[in-house]
């Protein structure tokens, strides 16, 4: 069954950018943009194009009686492809016409500050490539990345045209999402969706983040919508995590698949799960026990994977190579592809349930606590369980927690995962703050300087409150020093979580 995703939202919300990313990175999808079809007719000087041009310059949509037949003919040519629809259907009459021959699988309504985007939008007219001075700037100001030709503002991006198009959207197109609201429509911030697609493109996480997609699925209340959404998820490679998790069958023996250095002594290791469609089965905050026999002795250490339940068939861990009496760390770094380690879990006494809520403690004695503000202080590879929680919060469109990550290292060269962290901070700047700090700065270091328990760092932390939790993970001396320092500035022990 062909899957058809309709992206709807007011002018300038990012429909075209998102649609092109889907087509670029997810196999089998074609892109249909009503605006591109109309602009092509205008460029070609067709009779339809001449009549449509006057409406666009005035900031108005081309009337349905003029445009419907043209767009329906064009979209029918793509009926044998998975399809991302942008700008069509945009009225109830068009919805009826499309549903009669090419029913939509899912409607995603995008929502961002639109006027600011449009005022900074530039277009390469011949190709249709779109740029934004804030979100997606060209490499050379004013020039197209591919051809080097000049970029222009669209004729319908004037202030007056933008205002009129907003009015038209409120009167007509905003009703389209409502028409699909019986289980088939979800609302998403397109900046966040763009972030998920960027991560998917570099292989950091799965399509749209799969467990976020699954949360949408769970929130759909109507069986028809759930079934069609499920079909769509399957089309983009999603298998709902209702399958048995890898750890549910007991201890595992996992083979090393690959390893990728992140800096001079930290490496990301990928291990294969027993089945290609399995997930590891940990909740945010949990960890596993990894064991091996080294020098005739069984050695066990706890590690928090950096991949979550969006990763099918594998699990990733980030491990630092220590010198001295750290036999397992050195053993893992010396492993070759195909060699195995023993895994057991889940372990851990802290679980993040989402929307600021934690389960704290073990078994039946667990206490449920909720916070509106979370500060995570990580030392080196201690970032791994905290990153699980931060990403889980940021990937949940309904989680409004305010987040602050303080990532502490000895020197600048010790910092790792910087590209991923910077992307999180850029995309979620409305509620995620990122601070890097080192205790031994180099000449070019421009961020914070100081150990996590220093006055320079402590002054960056939000004031103590029962709505504010501070999460800590790192070397034991660091954790003890920070706990003592936090108590000294008024933070209650029950509001400090140590992983």
Binding site members for FAD: 301, 303, 318, 320, 329, 384
CA distance 12 to 326: 54
Distance CA 168, CA 63 (A): 12
| Phi-psi group of 313: left, alpha or beta (phi > 0 → left; psi -120 to 50 → alpha; rest → beta) | left
Alpha-carbon distance 204 to 209, whole Å? 10
Q: Report the C-alpha gap between 281 and 262 in whole angstroms.
A: 25
H helix count then E strand count, the chain: 16, 22
In angstroms, the CA 59 to CA 36 distance is 16
Which residues carry a binding-site annotation? Answer: 301, 303, 318, 320, 329, 384
Structure tokens at 29: 């999808």
State the helix-helix crossing angle for 223-235 and 210-219, rounded to 10 degrees: 170
- Burial class of 217 by CB neighbour count within 10 A (0 to 12, 13 to 18, 19+): middle
- DSSP label at 173? I
CA 290 to chain centre: 28
Distance CA 200, CA 23 (A): 12
**Cβ neighbours for 471, distance < 8 A, ≥ 6 positions apart:** 374, 375, 376, 377, 386, 389, 496, 497, 498, 499
Report the C-alpha dihedral over residues 161, 163, 164, 168, rounded to 10 degrees: 130
The neighbouring-strand residues paired with 405 are 376, 434
Q: Name 6's bridge partners.
A: 85, 107
Strands of 4-8's sheet in order across: 29-33, 82-86, 4-8, 106-110, 185-188
């Amino acid at each position: 069954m062909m899957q058809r995703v309709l992206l709807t939202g007011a002018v300038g919300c990012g429909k075209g950018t998102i649609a092109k990313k889907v087509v670029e990175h997810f196999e089998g999808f074609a892109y249909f943009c009503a605006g591109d079809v109309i602009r092509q007719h205008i460029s070609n000087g067709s009779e339809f194009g001449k009549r449509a041009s006057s409406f666009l310059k005035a900031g108005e949509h081309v009337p349905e009686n003029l445009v419907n037949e043209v767009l329906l003919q064009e979209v029918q040519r793509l009926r044998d492809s998975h399809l991302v629809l942008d700008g069509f259907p945009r009225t109830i009459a068009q919805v009826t016409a499309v549903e009669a021959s090419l029913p939509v699988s899912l409607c995603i309504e995008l929502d961002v500050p639109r006027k600011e985007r449009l005022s900074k939008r530039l277009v390469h007219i011949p190709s249709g490539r779109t740029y934004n001075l804030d979100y997606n700037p060209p490499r050379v100001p004013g020039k197209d990345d591919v051809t080097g030709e000049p970029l222009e503002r669209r004729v319908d991006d004037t202030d007056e045209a933008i205002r009129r198009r907003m009015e038209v959207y409120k009167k007509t197109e905003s009703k389209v999402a409502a028409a699909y609201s019986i289980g088939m429509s979800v609302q998403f911030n397109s900046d966040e969706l763009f972030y998920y697609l960027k991560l998917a493109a570099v292989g950091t996480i799965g399509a749209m983040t799969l467990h976020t997609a699954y949360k949408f699925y769970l929130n759909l209340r109507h069986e028809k919508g759930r079934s069609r959404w499920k079909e769509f998820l399957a089309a983009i490679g999603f298998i709902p995590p209702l399958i048995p998790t890898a750890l549910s069958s007991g201890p595992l023996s996992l083979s090393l698949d690959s390893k990728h250095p992140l800096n001079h002594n930290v490496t990301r290791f990928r291990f294969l799960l027993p089945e290609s469609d399995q997930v590891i089965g940990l909740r945010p905050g949990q960890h596993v026990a990894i064991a091996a026999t080294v020098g005739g002795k069984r050695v066990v250490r706890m590690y928090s994977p950096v991949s979550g339940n969006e990763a099918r068939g594998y699990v990733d861990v980030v491990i630092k190579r220590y010198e001295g009496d750290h036999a397992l760390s050195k053993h893992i770094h010396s492993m070759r592809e195909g060699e195995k380690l023993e895994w057991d879990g889940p372990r851990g006494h802290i679980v993040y349930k989402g929307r600021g809520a934690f389960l704290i403690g073990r078994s039946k004695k667990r206490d449920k606590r909720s916070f509106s503000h979370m500060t995570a202080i990580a030392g080196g590879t201690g970032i791994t369980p905290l990153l699980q929680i931060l990403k889980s919060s940021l990937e949940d469109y309904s989680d409004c927690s305010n987040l602050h990550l303080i990532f502490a290292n000895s020197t600048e060269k010790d910092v790792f995962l910087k590209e991923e962290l910077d992307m999180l901070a850029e995309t979620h700047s409305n509620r995620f703050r990122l601070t890097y700090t080192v205790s031994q700065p180099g000449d070019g270091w421009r961020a914070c300087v100081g150990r996590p328990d220093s006055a320079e760092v402590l002054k960056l932390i939000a004031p103590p409150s029962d709505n504010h939790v501070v999460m800590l993970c790192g070397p034991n001396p660091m954790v003890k020093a920070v706990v003592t320092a936090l108590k000294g500035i008024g933070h209650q022990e029950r509001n400090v979580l140590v992983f």
